[in-house]
Amino acid sequence: MTMDEFAKALFKSGITSVPTLLLQHYREIGMTNTEFLIYLQIKSFSDRGVSFPATEVLAKSVGVSDNELFQTLHTMIAKHLMQINTVQQKGQLAKDAYDFSQLYEKLSTYVSQRQQQRVDQQIDTDRDAIFQQIEEEFGRPLSPIELQSISKWLDEDHYSASLIQLALKETVLNQVYSLKYMDRILLSWEKKHITTPQQVQQERENRQKKQAPQPTRSNGNAPLPKIPTFKIDDNRS
């Protein structure tokens, strides 16, 4: 067989696509290598239009005995990795089909929890950094109540670390070393829907424009100076 003939045969046999996230994390959601291989074989049959391959055919594809395949399939169902549904289409006989919706739900839950763990870890890292920065700028240790207030900004108000750091900068520039002053700044930004450093910079520029003195211009419409009027006495010599 030439390479051209092989290439044609390769593409003619079809392609089975597998989600990369599943390939990366199937062990973390409780799948064994054998269970994952069974999933791949069932997926391959499904992609070719065979929704419920015969047990002996599937066992041969996986390389296990019929009994081993049967036991593994039951284990996968018990682990909520898959289920077997009866599909009824109009004008056709009912037939069974493998359904891996539960597997994808497990994967979705795992990925979401993993992302949340990363977010929580980043918040904890930011929290420690903010504690240290404020103590350095204020020149004193923070009290337990102050530590609690800062944690509230992160956990409940969901202020970003960068926004809190900018509020600290504003506080230091105004020489008001107070956490309450920082809180007023953050609350003011929140009311104005300011959530990013770029928006803070824009707010500063707008404020500076308003505070800048307006230049005086001399033109033809400027008011003339008042000229005093005198009453002329007719008898004055």
- For residue range 121-151, list pLDDT tens digits in order: 999 999 999 999 999 999 999 999 999 999 9
CA distances to 71, 74, 80, 186, 220 from 29, rounded to whole Å, are 19, 17, 10, 41, 81
pLDDT reported for residue 220: 55
Beta bridge partners of 95: 87
Domain extents in the chain = 16-99, 118-209
More confident residue, 182 or 2: 182
pTM for the whole structure: 0.68
Stretch among 33-47, 104-118, 222-236 having the lowest mean pLDDT? 222-236
Contact 135, 142 (CB under 8 A): yes
Q: Where are the alpha helices (DSSP H) in the chain?
A: 3-12, 20-25, 33-47, 55-62, 66-78, 101-138, 144-155, 161-173, 179-191, 197-211
Question: Are 16-99 and 118-209 equal in CATH topology?
Answer: yes
Domain 16-99, what fold?
Arc Repressor Mutant, subunit A (1.10.10)
User: For the residues 209-225, what does the mean pLDDT come to?
Assistant: 62
pLDDT reported for residue 62: 94
Residue 71, CB half-sphere, CA atoms under 13 Å: how many? 6
Q: In terms of CATH architecture, what is 118-209?
A: Orthogonal Bundle (1.10)
Rounded to whole angstroms, the Cα distance separating 188 from 207 reads: 13
For residues 111, 116, 117, 119, the Cα torsion angle rounded to the nearest 10 degrees is 130
User: For the residues 92-106, what does the mean pLDDT come to?
Assistant: 91
At residue 204 the predicted structure's pLDDT band, cuts being 50, 70 and 90, is confident
Residue closest to 28 by CA, chosen among 136, 115, 130, 106: 106
More confident residue, 181 or 231: 181
Q: Could you tell me the sign of the dihedral formed by the alpha carbons of 44, 46, 29, 114, in that order? A: positive
User: For the residues 195-206, what does the mean pLDDT come to?
Assistant: 89
